[in-house]
Structure 1
Amino acid sequence: MNKVTIFYDASCPLCVKEMTSLKYHLGTHAKFVNVLNAEAMKHHPSISVEESRRLLHVIDDKGNLRLAVDANVYLWQLTGTKHYLKMLRWPLIRPFANACYTLFARHRYKISRLLTGKSRCKQCEL
């Protein structure tokens, strides 16, 4: 398997928690790029920092860009866990899952505060 590149927001506690779990499962098969790190992002000029802060961005093992729910489902399929997530791509569920993801992403800092006690961190540890 070629290495996948995952672009994540290191100021979001929930995002970092998810990436930490993915890093555990994917190990050396994934490269994690903090979109808030300007130096790291210089190596990925085709990835918009603004857009990658809005939606999860992943460059898959074939070099294709995957976004949002598609990216998340893809990553968890690579781990061989959370098989139930593939139902989020079923035609009847897909539009609802995409809408929920967009809503979650827009309010992730508030949701992080409710679930973790902190809405943001300067740069959470991955």
Structure 2
Amino acid sequence: MYNKKDWPLTLYFDGQCPLCAREIKIPNRHATESRLLFIDISSGAFDAKALGFTFEQMQSSLHARFADGRWVTGLDATLWSWRAAGLGFWAAPLTWRAIRPLLALGYRCFCRLRPHLAWLPHPDGRRRCVDDRCGVPESKPAPDERPTLKTKQP
């Protein structure tokens, strides 16, 4: 079993994935930084190589690392992140031996389908990028400014 020196757990998730971002919102609301930290691997500042992985490996399944350096992936990363957030009762079925193989199969199928689900609405409501161009929503202009739509050029 894990003890106090194992925390915090650092959870590496893909913030660009609509389903992943939705799932992260729940433990994020309940977690404390002393128990659970979140790293968005889609952030430009993230460097998978510094952790000994490729970006593709990190993207292929959920990864989490305990404070002592031990890694858990997939269903175990989900289980431990929810436990770290104090929501282990919601993830308890992930420990049930009778259904664990079925859940593992479902998780592997989800991981294969996940790249094709980018069209789903993102929970933060941001606009999706199209053709390497991303529209940034207008902010309310100051009284003497004209409204503009900023675009990110490739």
Does TM-score exceed 0.5, indicating one fold? yes
Deviates more, 1:43-52 or 1:63-72: 43-52
Q: Normalising to structure 2: TM-score of the pair?
A: 0.64
Aligned residue pairs, count: 121
- Please, what TM-score do these two structures have when normalized by structure 1? 0.76
Give unmatched runs, 5+ long, in structure 1.
none
**2:47 matched to 1:41?**
yes
- Equivalent residue for 2:104? 98
Higher helix share: 1
1:10 — aligned with what? Answer: 15
The equivalent residue for 1:54 is: 60
Q: Partners in 2 of 1:53 and 1:12 — Cα distance?
A: 10
Structure with the greater alpha carbon radius of gyration = 2
Partner secondary structure for residue 97 of structure 2? coil
Range that drifts further, 64-73 or 2-11: 2-11
The answer to whether the Cα contact below 8 Å between 1:11 and 1:121 also exists between their aligned partners in 2 is: no
Q: Which gives a bigger RCO, structure 1 or 2 (Cα 8 Å, sep 6+)?
A: 1
Q: Percent identity?
A: 23
Unaligned runs of 5+ in 2: 130-154
RMSD between aligned residues = 2.9
Letter in structure 1 aligned against 2:19: L
Moved over 3 A (4+): 109-114
